[in-house]
């Protein structure tokens, strides 16, 4: 493998449950594809490699599929793999996998460093699950053993420090990256004649139907309770005579209930449940606004993807996280969590605001572009590897 051919390379493992559609999967695929191959010997270790959504450049990255659908079934495989390979650094993500790695860390090579990347605000996330006190105890007990924790936002870092007593020296705030050029390439496809307006992209994706209403709103993500799509439906139902269409890109267990709610609210003809799309960026690019009504988010990638194609967003603040992404009146608006009246007012304000889509794209690249964020990750990895115990 590469580290044998080039002994000066740092051997790094990215450990992730799968490469299916999801925020953590997207971030790890970006890191694997964009880290300097002349510095890092990169291995992506996937517990279950079936139905990948993201593509890994296998010319410079080794992908290992452990063929274990569940973390607990992969215990022996992960343990043996790390023991045998002795990487300089293991980077894991998602809380259940992070906790598992923390449990076995004392029995793994001492020279290997371990970094956990968290994907959500755990104190809020645990409230949605059974036995929240036990889950918080496990984090408080296990997470301090990591050499470093990657936090997506300042709020997440504050939560680890205040709720789980993680030392500030171990907390590294790195926003999520977005491959602005890749998203634009897939999202902005020229097709036919199209009259641009301040709130509509002049590049209409060829595989997305033309608008049938004056305004198109889009939400992207799984249809689960915490995504708050029921709030979005109620908000849109009270917009009066506004001529709109609302596309939901994604699927999940809440779909049936949400379809029934749209019917009850009298807006079923305005709402399209489009399901999972291989190219959600095209749908985002076709919209006047991306809507984010989640109860909580770690660092919503979809807002970055909207920015990459120049689409403004309207969102709940998600505990202040969204304020790190949206600059009011520049790339959208955000309102207090759960305030449906304020969200509705933001939509009505937004449709009267002449957003500059090119400016939104430039701002997104400047703040969250791959080159900037990957450099921050690389620098953090090197600092952690070089720390002597």
Examine the pLDDT at 134 and tell me if it is beyond 60.
Answer: yes
CB atoms within 10 A of CB 8: 8
At residue 195, the pLDDT reads 34
Tokens, residue 330: 């520049």
Q: Which residues of 310-346 are buried (b: 16+ CB within 10 A; e: fewer)?
A: bbbbbbbbbbebbbbbbeeeebbbbbebeebeebbeb
- Which spans in 91-175 are helix H? 95-104, 122-127, 132-142, 154-164
DSSP-assigned states of every residue in 171-236: EEE-PPPB-HHHHHHHH----S----BTTB-SS--TTSPPPSSSEEEEEES---GGG-HHHHHHHH
At residue 370, the pLDDT reads 94
For 142, which DSSP code? Answer: H
- Higher-confidence residue of 248 and 53: namely 248
- Higher-confidence residue of 153 and 345: namely 345
User: Which residue, chain included where needed, has tokens 């202040």?
Assistant: 320
Examine the pLDDT at 301 and tell me if it is beyond 50.
Answer: yes
Assign 191 a pLDDT band (cuts: 50, 70, 90): very low
At residue 343, the pLDDT reads 98
Phi, then psi, of 313 in degrees rounded to 5 = -120, 150
Query: How far apart are the C-alpha atoms of 216 and 286, rounded to whole Å?
Result: 8
DSSP-assigned states of every residue in 251-300: --TTHHHHHHHHHHHT-TTTEEEEE--S-HHHHHHT-SEEEE--S--SS-
Q: By three-state DSSP, how is residue 94 classified?
A: coil
pLDDT digits (tens, 9 = 90+) for 338-378: 999 999 999 999 999 999 999 999 999 999 999 999 999 99
Phi, then psi, of 237 in degrees rounded to 5 = -65, -20
Phi, then psi, of 90 in degrees rounded to 5 = -120, 125
At residue 260, the pLDDT reads 98
CA distances in angstroms from 159 to 121, 148, 249, 275, listed in the order given: 7, 15, 31, 34
C-beta of residue 42 within 8 angstroms of C-beta of residue 60 = yes
């Amino acid at each position: 493998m590469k580290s044998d051919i080039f002994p000066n390379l740092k051997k790094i493992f990215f450990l992730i449950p799968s490469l299916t559609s999801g925020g953590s999967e997207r971030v790890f695929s970006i890191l694997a594809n964009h880290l300097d191959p002349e510095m890092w010997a990169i291995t992506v270790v996937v517990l279950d490699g079936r139905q990948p959504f993201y593509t890994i450049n296998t010319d410079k990255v080794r992908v290992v599929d452990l063929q274990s659908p569940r973390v607990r079934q992969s215990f022996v495989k992960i343990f043996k793999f790390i023991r045998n390979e002795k990487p300089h650094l293991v980077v894991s993500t998602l809380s259940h996998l992070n906790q598992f790695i923390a449990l076995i860390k004392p029995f793994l090579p001492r020279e290997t460093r371990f970094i956990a990347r968290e994907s959500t605000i755990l104190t809020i996330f645990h409230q949605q699950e059974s036995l929240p006190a036990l889950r918080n105890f496990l984090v408080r007990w296990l997470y301090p053993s990591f050499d470093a924790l990657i936090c997506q936002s300042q709020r997440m870092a504050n939560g680890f420090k205040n709720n789980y007593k993680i030392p500030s020296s171990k907390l590294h705030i790195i926003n999520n990256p977005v491959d602005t050029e890749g998203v634009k390439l897939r999202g902005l496809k020229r097709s036919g004649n199209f009259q641009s307006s301040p709130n509509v992209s002049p590049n209409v994706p060829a595989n997305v139907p033309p608008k049938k209403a004056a305004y198109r709103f889009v939400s992207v993500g799984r249809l689960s309770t915490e995504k708050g799509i029921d709030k979005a439906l109620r908000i849109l139902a009270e917009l009066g005579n506004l001529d709109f269409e609302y596309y939901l890109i994604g699927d999940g267990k809440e779909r049936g209930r949400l379809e029934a709610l749209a019917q009850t609210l009298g807006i079923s003809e305005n709402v399209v449940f489009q399901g999972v799309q291989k190219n959600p960026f095209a749908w985002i690019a076709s919209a006047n606004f991306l809507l984010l009504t989640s109860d909580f988010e770690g660092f919503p990638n979809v807002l970055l993807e909207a920015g990459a194609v120049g689409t403004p967003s309207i969102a709940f603040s998600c505990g202040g996280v969204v304020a790190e992404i949206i600059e009011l009146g520049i790339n959208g608006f955000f309102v207090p969590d759960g305030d449906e009246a304020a969200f509705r007012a933001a939509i009505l304000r937004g449709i009267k605001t002449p957003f500059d889509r090119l400016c939104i794209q430039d701002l997104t690249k400047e703040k969250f572009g791959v080159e900037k964020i990957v450099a921050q990750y690389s620098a953090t990895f090197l600092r952690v590897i070089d720390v002597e115990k």
